[in-house]
Amino acid sequence: MKQMAKKLLTLSLIFILLPFSSVEAASKPEDVVKIAKNYIGVPYLDAGATPSGFDCSGFTYFVYNLVGVTIPRIAASQYTIGKSVDKANLQLGDLVFFEKTMNKPGITHVGIYVGNNEFISATSSQGIKIDSLSNTYWGPKYVGAKRILEDGGFTDLANGHPAYNAIMMLNQQGVIYGFEDNTFRPESPVTRGQAAAIINRVLKKEPKNLNAFVDVPTTSRFAKEIAAIKEAGIINGFKDGTFRPDAYMTKAEMALIVHGAFELSKQNLTIGSHSYIDVKPDYWAYEAIETLRSIDSTTLFAGNRYNTGEFASRAIFSVSIYNSMNTVGK
């Protein structure tokens, strides 16, 4: 009787902490995380899918239902839906999956990614709790992740932004991602490592050797993509044998890289004459820059100055990739 009273008290406290109106209004991945965290401490219950007790998939099933999204009840079935997401590109609200028993292959545990390399799930030992994806228990058992929630955009990217359509299309295709706080940061500069990864998600080249550069260990985030792009001759390194994956690239360097990656010179494009007053015909990236302008379907390449030495933003790089894909695909 005491145990039942304790459960009822827990249930009451949960709904005091989580008013119905806030559940009803939840629609974004970060709201899912907030809701999930309100259940920390609720005990584990085999086959449970209510606030009186949860098993792992019962918990994810329950939380997703609170935001109007119906998913399968069983963890293995939940793994069959949504869009696959690389571990390096996890965002708030993504489902993360594990294989707990090596002798019994298959999905046996699921949780919700909450940021900072952590996830929340119903554990048989401590109920609803937050764990690191890299801890000694869960790290080796990680299988993959799925993105179920698509909230229609990023919090810092307005519908009227000239790069909006390009960014959202590439995001839906798994070519480019935002950050775990649901931002895209369109004006932030793109790094050489990010550029290599984005280009290779389109080209899908497989490297023969991951030991491409002395400053890109095989365990680094973009090692495979950087090696593939190097072997394809798209982005080269420096004389000292480094790639400098965290370094930014200029708009001129971006133009040359994208131009070469998509072989735009072979597309029989009509290039305007001297469109930018700061890019002369004898400039080393002239053809590449003029080509990107000629295929632009947005307004990001408009104006009479290109500003070759500026760092390429995530927005203009996304547009360059988007325009190039559309041109090559015609």
| Beta-carbon count within 10 A of 265 CB | 13
pLDDT confidence of residue 109: 96
Mean per-residue pLDDT of the chain? 86
Mean pLDDT score, 180-197:
91
**Could you report the per-residue pLDDT of 305-328, keeping only the tens digit for each?**
999 999 999 999 999 999 999 998
Q: What homologous superfamily is domain 2-147 in, according to CATH?
A: endopeptidase domain like (from Nostoc punctiforme) (3.90.1720.10)
Mean pLDDT score, 98-116:
85
Strand partners, 147: 83
pLDDT confidence of residue 183: 85
**Could you report the per-residue pLDDT of 268-278, keeping only the tens digit for each?**
777 766 789 99
pLDDT confidence of residue 9: 42
Helix, strand, coil % (nearest 5) of the chain? 35, 15, 50
Percent of the chain with pLDDT over 90: 65
Strand partners, 95: 112, 146
Please give the structure tokens belonging to residue 165: 């359509």
State the amino acid at position 37 in one-letter form: K
For the chain, what are the domain ranges?
A: 2-147, 164-328
Q: Apex CA 293: angle with CA 327 and CA 172, to 5°?
A: 50
**Could you report the per-residue pLDDT of 126-147, keeping only the tens digit for each?**
999 999 999 999 999 999 999 8
Separation in Å, CA 195 to CA 24, 213, 217, 226, 248: 39, 16, 17, 9, 9
| Torsion over CA: 188, 189, 193, 197 (sign) | positive
**Could you report the per-residue pLDDT of 86-96, keeping only the tens digit for each?**
898 888 899 99
- pLDDT over 90 at 28, yes or no: no
pLDDT confidence of residue 16: 34
Model confidence band, residue 26 (pLDDT cutoffs 50, 70, 90)? very low
pLDDT confidence of residue 84: 87
Q: Which residue has the higher pLDDT, 93 or 179?
A: 93
